[in-house]
């Protein structure tokens, strides 16, 4: 949810201790049996690890994966297990907050293009606007899961089935070995029984791992309230449910009444007034004549900090579709399938993120990437919801289409497949004949082109970029053949570069078209991975992770710029005979 004002208040008043996390873990071991665990906010961990890497060119995925490995190994060396939690399903109650944040981010990103068009920008000119390339978080989930399962390091990954913050907090509160939550979100001071909050903001991974530790008891004591009052405090300060804009007038009135300068202290003062914790009285003051509506919001906000008790699953009157959902939910939670697969199956929201070119589209002839991939996604909806009943079934899409604009559309899922393609049901599809999975996968990517050559492509993880390029070239018709060649060259040459080499490539002044192409490719690749998951295929192999095996944003921009003066993008990089064979196979058997 994020109570930014509360986080700042706690920092300004030094309501934290700077701790050695190894010492905290040792203290736990001295009086408890079991391995100490830290519950990690996965998305914010991705922000922390990617902080000094490139935001503009499409992503530095090889360097990012190495940072993920070093991070886990560092905590593993201290005997601490990391449990990562990532958003798995959008929370519909918070969609308005998400939309507002997308609009705000759009305004920030638009400044980048203003600088670029004015030819005033160099690489260092973009420092003021930090954002994550779209594939960073999905890559983090796959990387962390691979580290835990294949390299036997002490970490696990979970995708949420509801509000991710609540699920993370519930885990931290109920796991007897959890020594705290690692996040920058001060909401973890509000949820009950969370041991403590370690923040990424001041986390240092030197010879010692040190950071700031916040405790809810310290915050409540400083404000003169009870720990149980903290959900009400957070609600009246403003969060994702009670938006701060709706509380501005209330905060102004409180300053007049109590003459405090800090909002946290204003609300704490109000909480202490008798009758203590009377929500109706507080809402009458905060919202005036709209107090009833405000009370409903505040009660909803306070309830959002409670942990829902889930009873034992019942097997009575379970439909076939419910049984399928139960089986696939387990794969979703353990990150065995992409998060979008289960999202569609629950008929939730498909949300596209902040993608650079979508926010400059008003000055470009290129269509927004979210609209480019829509037809592929809608065929994927058919595969996932094929056995969900007679319908109609709908998926709601939110796609950025311009500066501060989000396109919302409800898509009715078609329950039709072409002749010759049989859908046996998801569970049977995923465990059945491999050729059936390939046939359905190929149809989703391109209903009009024979993609049987994909099955023989080696190494097999190249299926993902090849399928993406085939779709963009033949179905969406947004790439030129030379641009396809550039992406294939990147896919075949990135393995020969170290992360250090990639970081040193000269990409100082990118073109708007290159930015568009890089982010379009990344988004399409992610959805090809979604399609593969929907069809029961696994690309790429865990050992290859994904994206870093066949794409790097800086390398793409380097080759793209250099090849403007070359007859072939392969002339820009070192090339081998085996690379030439694979290049020709992709271009002649799959693209042409």
Average pLDDT over the chain, rounded to whole? 86
pLDDT, residue 69, reads 95
Average pLDDT over residues 98-124: 63
* 17 bridge partner residues: 213
Instruction: Kindly report, residue by residue over 206-252, the tens digit of the pLDDT.
Output: 899 999 999 999 999 999 999 999 999 999 888 888 877 778 777 87
CB of 579 closer than 8 Å to CB of 493: yes
Bridge partners of residue 411, in order along the sequence: 395
**How many Å apart are CA 352 and CA 354, to the nearest integer?**
7
**Element at 356 (helix H, strand E):** none
2 closest CA partner among 167, 190, 141: 190
C-alpha dihedral (159, 174, 193, 26), degrees to nearest 10: -100
- Cβ neighbors of 489 (< 8 A, separation 6 or more) are 559, 569, 570, 572, 573, 583
CA distance from start to end of the chain: 48
Residue 116: pLDDT band with limits 50, 70, 90: low
Which residue ranges form the domains of the chain, and what is each CATH number?
Answer: 4-94+109-214 (3.40.50.1010), 222-303 (no CATH), 338-591 (no CATH)
Helix segments in 288-423, DSSP class H: 291-303, 320-333, 339-345, 369-372, 374-384
Nearest Cα neighbor of 176 from 28, 27, 23 is 28
Confidence of residue 11 (pLDDT cuts 50, 70, 90): very high
Tell whether the model's pLDDT for residue 120 goes beyond 60: no
CB atoms within 10 A of CB 259: 9
What was the pLDDT predicted at 303? Answer: 92
Q: What's the pLDDT at 404?
A: 57
Q: Are 123 and 508 a contacting pair, CB within 8 Å? A: yes
Tens digits of residue pLDDT in 491-521? 999 999 999 999 999 887 677 788 889 989 9
Per the model's pLDDT, the better-predicted residue between 55 and 530 turns out to be 530
Give the count of beta carbons closer than 10 Å to the beta carbon of residue 496: 12
Structure confidence by residue, pLDDT tens digits, 91-106: 766 666 666 766 666 6
What is the pTM assigned to this prediction?
A: 0.90
- What mean pLDDT comes out for the span 329-347? 89
Question: Each residue of 413-458: pLDDT tens digit?
Answer: 888 899 889 999 999 999 999 999 999 999 999 999 999 999 999 9
In this structure, the number of other CB atoms found within 10 A of the CB of residue 522 comes to 24
| Burial 349-373, CB ≥16 within 10 A → b, else e | bbbbbbbbbbbbbeeeebbbbbbbb
Q: Where are the beta strands (DSSP E) in 63-166?
A: 81-86, 155-159
Pick the more confident residue, 111 or 396: 396
Please tell me what DSSP assigns to residue 309: P
The pLDDT assigned to 311 comes to 55
Contact 225, 272 (CB under 8 A): yes
Virtual torsion, Cα 486, 487, 492, 493, nearest 10 deg:
60
CA neighbor of 242 nearest in space, from 270, 275, 267, 273: 267
User: Is residue 123 predicted with pLDDT exceeding 50?
Assistant: no
Q: What is the structure's pLDDT at 489?
A: 96
* The predicted structure's pLDDT at residue 248: 78
Cis peptide before 540 (omega within 30 of 0): yes
521-568 pLDDT tens trace: 999 999 999 999 999 998 777 777 789 999 999 999 999 988 887 778
Q: Which of 525, 420, 507 has its CA nearest to residue 469?
A: 525
Separation CA 373–CA 238 (nearest Å): 36
Rg (alpha carbons) of the chain, rounded to whole number = 25
Residue 141 makes CB contacts below 8 A (sequence gap 6+) with 42, 84, 86, 157, 159, 335, 339
């Amino acid at each position: 949810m994020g109570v930014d004002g509360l986080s700042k208040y706690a920092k300004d008043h030094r309501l934290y201790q700077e701790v050695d996390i190894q010492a905290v873990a040792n203290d736990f071991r001295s009086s408890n049996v079991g391995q100490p665990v830290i519950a990690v906010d996965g998305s914010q961990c991705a922000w922390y690890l990617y902080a000094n890497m490139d935001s503009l060119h499409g992503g530095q995925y090889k360097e990012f994966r190495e940072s993920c490995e070093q991070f886990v190994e560092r905590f593993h060396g201290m005997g601490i297990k990391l449990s990562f939690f990532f958003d798995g399903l959008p929370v519909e109650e918070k969609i308005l907050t998400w939309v507002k944040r997308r609009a705000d981010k759009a305004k920030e990103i638009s400044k980048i293009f203003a600088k670029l068009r004015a030819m005033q920008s160099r690489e260092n000119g973009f420092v003021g606007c930090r954002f994550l390339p779209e594939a960073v978080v999905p890559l983090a989930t796959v990387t962390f899961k691979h580290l835990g399962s294949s390299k036997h390091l002490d970490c696990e990954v979970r995708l949420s089935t509801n509000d991710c913050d609540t699920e993370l907090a519930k885990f931290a509160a109920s796991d007897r070995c959890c020594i705290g939550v690692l996040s920058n979100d001060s909401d973890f001071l509000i949820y009950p029984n969370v041991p403590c909050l370690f923040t990424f903001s001041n986390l240092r991974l030197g010879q010692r791992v040190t950071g700031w530790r916040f405790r809810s008891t310290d915050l409540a004591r400083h404000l003169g309230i009870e720990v149980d009052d903290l959900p009400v405090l957070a609600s009246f300060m403003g969060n994702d449910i009670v938006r701060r804009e709706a509380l501005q007038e209330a905060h102004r009135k409180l300053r007049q009444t109590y003459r405090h300068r800090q909002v946290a202290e204003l609300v704490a003062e109000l909480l202490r007034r008798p009758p203590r914790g009377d929500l109706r009285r507080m809402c009458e003051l905060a919202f005036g004549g709209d107090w009833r509506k405000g009370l409903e919001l505040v009660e909803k906000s306070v309830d959002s900090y409670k942990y829902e008790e889930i009873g034992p699953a019942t097997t009575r009157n379970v439909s076939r579709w419910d049984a399928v959902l139960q089986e696939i939910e387990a794969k979703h939670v353990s990150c065995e399938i992409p998060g979008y697969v289960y999202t569609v199956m629950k008929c939730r929201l498909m949300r596209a993120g902040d993608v650079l070119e979508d926010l400059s589209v008003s000055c470009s002839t290129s269509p927004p990437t979210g609209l480019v991939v829509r037809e592929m996604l809608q065929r994927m909806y058919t595969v996932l919801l094929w056995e969900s009943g007679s319908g109609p079934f709908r998926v709601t899409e939110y796609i950025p289409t311009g500066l501060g604009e989000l396109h919302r559309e409800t898509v009715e899922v078609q329950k039709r497949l072409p002749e010759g393609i049989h859908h046996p049901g998801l569970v049977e599809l995923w465990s059945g004949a491999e050729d059936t999975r390939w046939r359905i996968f190929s149809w989703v990517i391109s209903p009009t082109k024979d993609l049987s050559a994909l099955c023989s492509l080696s190494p097999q993880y190249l299926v993902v970029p090849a399928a993406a390029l085939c779709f963009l070239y033949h179905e969406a018709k947004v790439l030129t053949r030379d641009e396809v060649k550039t992406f294939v060259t990147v896919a075949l040459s990135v393995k020969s570069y170290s992360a250090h080499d990639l970081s040193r490539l000269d990409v100082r002044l990118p073109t708007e078209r290159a930015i568009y192409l890089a982010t379009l490719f990344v988004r399409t690749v992610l959805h090809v991975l979604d399609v593969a998951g929907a069809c029961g295929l696994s690309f790429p192999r865990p050992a290859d992770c994904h994206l870093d095996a066949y794409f790097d944003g800086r390398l793409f921009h380097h080759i793209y710029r250099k090849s403007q003066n070359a007859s072939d993008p392969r002339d820009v990089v070192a090339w081998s005979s085996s690379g030439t064979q694979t290049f020709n196979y992709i271009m002649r058997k799959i693209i042409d």
